[in-house]
Structure 1
Amino acid sequence: LSGCAVGPDYVAPTTQFAPFHNTITADSQRSTTPPPRLDNWWTGFNDPELVTVVQRALAQNLDLKAAFARVQQARAAASGAGAQLFPTLDLNSTATAEHQSLDSPLGSLAKATSPGYSRDQREYTLGAAASWEIDLAGGLRRNAAAARDEAAAAEADQLGTHITVAADAADAYLQIRGLQAQLAVTQDQVDTDVHLLELVEVRQRAGAADEREVAQAEALLKQARAVVPTLRTALEAQLNRLDVLMGAQPGTYARELSAPGTIPAVPAIDDRVTPMDVLRRRPDMIAAERRLAASNERIGAAISDYYPKISLSGALGFDSTSPNHFLSAQAFQPIGSGALRWRLFDFGKVDAEVAETRGANAEALMQYRQAALKATEDVENAFVALSQTETRLQELQGEVASLTRARDLSEHAYKAGAITLTDVLDADRQLLVARDELDGTRADAARAAVTVFRAFGGGWDVPPDSRVAEAAQTAVT
């Protein structure tokens, strides 16, 4: 009967893309090593604390657990749809005791025709019944195939959640390290400004500085201290975000990350990957392709309603009014039946159902193509963001080195009376801004690398014989 299935056979859509026009051009990419495997890219940052954070999030995240529960539901639905192809067998047994009313139609008739009629009646039944719908047009098979495709899509969605959780946990961690570095820079600046204020006050007492210079130094100190609350607020928000990603109440793991750590260096990333490689690996593409396949199967299931449906049923059992003869040959009662149902006229209901499934298939195809475009957009944007951020990082490193030298020379010149305090304050302010931007950009570069790995679809690994692995082979043809 498998050759009798009606409806269109699924053909995976063809997708052709030119190579990515953006590349990663930063010099730092040539001085670092890539992660050993794309599915555990976070190890490439060479930060044990980052590895711990990501692994803890993957083990405890509640969104990931919910995604797994959705996979279990989809698998159960697919199993139930597949079971519709086979016969069902039921075992039934009843024991009935009845005291017949003499005023009922049956009681009145029995009382008139049978003077010795007994109002107490007993009936015992035992038997097995089987039923089976013969899938002539393949509607049940189409529905079963669609359910399997939906289950594969749910598995791909779970892997997509896996990627998102890993990337979000790494992003929060990198922001925490960046904010801690900015706080350290700000504190260094506060210490420097305290030292400068003390120097101005000494010069004032010696008559070499006036009250205006003291007020300027005090304002600069307060300006540096005013940055601290903003940074601490942002740091607390990321610590709380990371705790929630790890499935814990905010504040649970904050102490472990309270000690400042270095911002990890960006690992080398192979930008020679092709769009086809990315599309085959990204779970959102696999899910979109499986949903497209499922929508195609639904068309066949709807078309099958144009054709007759045949079902067979039968029962073997015993029916007796006396327990003494319950399992005897005379109580044996077999039943067999066949049924034919053919929808001949329904005011266009089947036509509407077929049109609806075709429309859903067309929508799924557009969603698949849109997902492919979005995937390539993610990679292009991630490439340019990483390249430009690392370029900016290199320029800021040179700027900080120059401003540090200028700041030190300005302070020496001010002590010697060669320049005014305003020149020292300007140099100090420029250095504070540059150092703050440097640490923020260093964290941004690491976060941009995380975005690249996310765009690649990295962060999952499945056995080659799994349903998702099979779907990945047909996601892009």
Structure 2
Amino acid sequence: MKRRIGGSLMLLLFFSSMAFAQTTPRYLDNPLPAEWEEDATLFQQVLPVNDQWWKAFQDPMLDSLISVAINKNYSVLTTIDRINMAKANLRIERGNFFPTIGLNAGWTRQQSSGNTSALPQSTQHYYDASVNMSWELDLFGSIRNRVKAQKENFAASKEEYVGTMVSLCAQVASAYINLRELQQELEVVKKNSVSQAAVLKITEVRYDTGLASKLDVSQAKSVYFSTKASIPQIEAGINQYITSLAILLGTYPQEVRPSLERIGSLPDYMEPIAVGLPADLLLRRPDIRSAERQVNAQAASVGASKSDWLPKVFLNGSVGYAAKDMKDFTKHKSLTYEIAPSITWTLFKGTQLVNATKLAKAQLDQAINQFNQTVLTAVQEVDNAMNAYQNSIKQIVALREVRNQGVETLTLSLDLYKQGLSPFQNVLDAQRSLLSYENQLVQAKGNSLLQLIAMYQALGGGWGNL
């Protein structure tokens, strides 16, 4: 018998040593591109961590929209609820550090049978009341690890909140920029339609005087009505962005439409932005910090699962009074107590303990892989946003020159046409080109601002202290 017990204990210790075997997390060796060095001159740190980056646009309407969104957006309110739930779970786990205390009180009356033994039938009653306590002594860290896991989950929920705020501010700013871009495109179309209407009038006058053919008038009308036909589509797009902003603000479109329908200009911002060293600023990203917290939480869960292999020590006890008559209830002779320390050790539970530890380790590996993927995604987003913003500024500079040349081309071709020195086709081409150039310039300005917003978001741009 002793050999069997000894063999069982050795087998248990063997499985325990397997469960406690340390695993080496497989983090990325070089998570950041080599060109992101400290001596890089393109990006230098100038902004505080919690900068309100949208303030650089100097647009009071945008400031107001973001202020409303962070207070009323339902996604933000949902993340606040998740924080509260995580805090409650943390407090539940912390409660296991303390003893469980209960109160029992009652009155008992019982009668014994006189036909089951030689003793006569009897009836008795008594009163009793006691305070009971059960306390698990956390000798092997089971409770501590579970508390640590919930603490990390709580921290991750707060990072999720910050991430939601960063994303929300970027979404509001992006929708607002798209709205203003379409409004500027609408202004461009209206301005060009006025110019085209004037050219149409010239062709009609020249046709009436016999200086131009009916073809010139027909072509001028085609260009004019084609430009006018693009207005409804732009207006539909404007309405879509107004409704998108309303959702982000947690309200109905009719509440914000009057203020947003008023034509506004794009923020006049086109500067090389200093965002700081990307390798350092990536640490600002809440999704990376949240993924790191998840790794820590899963590591603590592995420790908790390993602790389940070890004995659990409890301190149980009770103290109270019991008496037949209530008048004797509080006398010294009525005192009752019990002290019962105990140890429980699960020697065999099928494969549940082994697989519980394997599951915890697999979840830890999953969290580490997710962390690595988050870092790689962050690097990609930052690199793409930086490159896109740099090139968007170059595009704006080039398109401004193209637009200026388009204006001059239309002026010259129209003057030559009036003098009969150039065919009307040159005027038509110049009109179409100018409309295209001006639309491209507006779109380039809007795209540059969107790329700047994307860069701030990719770098975990702070949402400020509103």
Bin of the TM-score, shorter chain as denominator length = 0.7 to 0.9
Supply the distance in 2 between the matched residues of 1:449 and 1:24 (Cα, whole angstroms). 18
Equivalent residues of 1:34, 1:269 under 8 A apart: no
For 2:446 and 2:127, locate their aligned partners in 1 and report how far apart those are by CA, in whole Å: 79
Q: Tell me which moved more, 197-206 or 230-239.
A: 197-206
Q: Give the TM-score, by structure 2 length.
A: 0.87
Pairing 1:290-309 to 2, within 5 Å after superposition:
290-309=293-312
Show the counterpart of 2:206: 203
Q: 1:299 to 1:400 in 2, by over 3 A?
A: same
User: 1:219 — aligned with what?
Assistant: 222
Deviations along 1:32-84, one digit per CA (max 9) or x if unpaired, are x9767653111111222211111221121110111111011111111211221
User: 1:123: how far off?
Assistant: 5.1
Distance in 1 of aligned mates of 2:131 and 2:305: 33
1:72 to 71, 84, 101: 84
Asked whether 1:415 is paired with 2:427, we answer: no
Q: Deviations over 1:353-407 (max 9, x none)?
A: 1111111111211111111111111110001110111111111111000001111
Question: Alignment RMSD, CA only?
Answer: 2.9
Residue 308 of structure 2 aligns to a residue whose secondary structure is: helix
Shift of 1:272: 4.5
- Per the alignment, residue 284 of structure 1 pairs with 287
Partner of 2:56: 44
CA distance in 2, matches of 1:424, 1:59: 53
Displacement of 1:274 in angstroms is: 3.5
Offset of 1:333 from its aligned partner? 2.1
Establish whether residue 127 from structure 1 lines up as the match of residue 136 from structure 2: no
Structure-2 change in CA distance of 1:338 and 1:43 (3 Å):
same
Task: Give the TM-score normalised by structure 1.
Answer: 0.85
The question of whether the paired residues in 2 share the 8 Å contact of 1:45 and 1:267 is answered with: no
1:183 counterpart residue number: 186
- Whether the aligned pair in 2 keeps the contact of 1:45 and 1:266 (CA below 8 Å) is no
Whole-angstrom CA distance in 2 between matches of 1:324 and 1:111 = 32
> Are the counterparts in 2 of residues 190 and 225 from structure 1 also a CA contact under 8 Å?
yes
Instruction: Specify the code of the residue in structure 2 equivalent to 1:51.
Output: D
By how many angstroms is 1:323 displaced? 3.5
Any conservation in 1 of the 2:46–2:275 contact (CA below 8 Å)? no
Please list the CA deviations of residues 330-370 of structure 1 after superposition, one character each: whole Å capped at 9, or x if unmatched: 43322222222111122222111111111111121111111
Counterpart of 2:13 in structure 1 is none
Choose from 418, 442, 446 the match for 2:445. Answer: 442
Distance 1:12 1:133 in 2: 36
Compared CA separation, residues 330 and 272, structure 1 to 2 (3 A): closer
- Which residue type is aligned with residue 68 of structure 1? I
TM superposition shift of 1:206: 1.3
Alignment partner, residue 273 of structure 2: 269
SS for the counterpart of 2:97 is coil
| Residue 255 (structure 1) aligns with | 258
Match of 1:54 in 2: 66
Aligned residues: 442
Q: Structure 1, residues 183-215: CA drift from partner, whole Å, max 9, x if none? A: 000111121122222222222221222222222
For 2:41 and 2:227, how far apart are their aligned partners in 1? Answer: 36
Aligned partner of 1:368 in structure 2 is 371
Helix, strand or coil at the partner of 1:92: strand
2:169–2:463: 8 Å Cα contact kept in structure 1? no
Write the distance in 1 (CA, Å) between the matches of 2:223 and 2:328: 107
Q: Deviations over 1:403-451 (max 9, x none)?
A: 0111112222222222222211110000001111111110110111001
Range 355-364 or range 450-459, more displaced: 355-364
Q: Which residue of 2 aligns with 1:82?
A: 94
- The secondary structure found in structure 2 opposite 1:90 is strand
Q: Distance in 2 between matches of 1:86 and 1:93?
A: 23
Q: Percent identity?
A: 26
**Which whole-Å CA distance do the structure 2 matches of 1:126 and 1:418 have between them?**
116
Whether contact under 8 Å (1:35, 1:44) holds in the other structure is no
Query: Is the 2:47–2:275 contact (alpha carbons within 8 Å) kept by the matching residues of 1?
Result: no
CA drift of 1:11 comes to 8.9
Equivalence map 1:309-320=2 (5 Å): 309-320=312-323
In the TM superposition, 1:164-179 aligns within 5 A as 164-179=167-182
**What is the CA-CA distance between 1:8 and the residue it aligns to?**
5.5
Does structure 2 conserve the Cα–Cα contact (< 8 Å) formed by 1:24 and 1:386?
A: no
Find the aligned partners of 2:194 and 2:449 in 1 and give their Cα distance: 29
- List per-residue Cα deviations over 1:271-293 (Å, max 9, x = no partner): 54131x12321111111111111
Inter-partner Cα distance in structure 1 for 2:160 and 2:188: 42
Q: For the residues of structure 1 that align with 2:231 and 2:126, how far apart are their CA atoms?
A: 87
Distance 1:460 1:181, change over 3 A: closer
Which piece of structure 1 moves more, 49-58 or 287-296? 49-58
Which residue of the other structure, out of 149, 153, 157, is the alignment partner of 2:156?
A: 153
Equivalent in the alignment of 1:471: none
* Local SS of the residue matching 1:137: coil
Matched, 1:348 2:360: no
Aligned-partner residue type, residue 161 of structure 1: T
CA contact (8 A) 1:34 1:267 kept: no
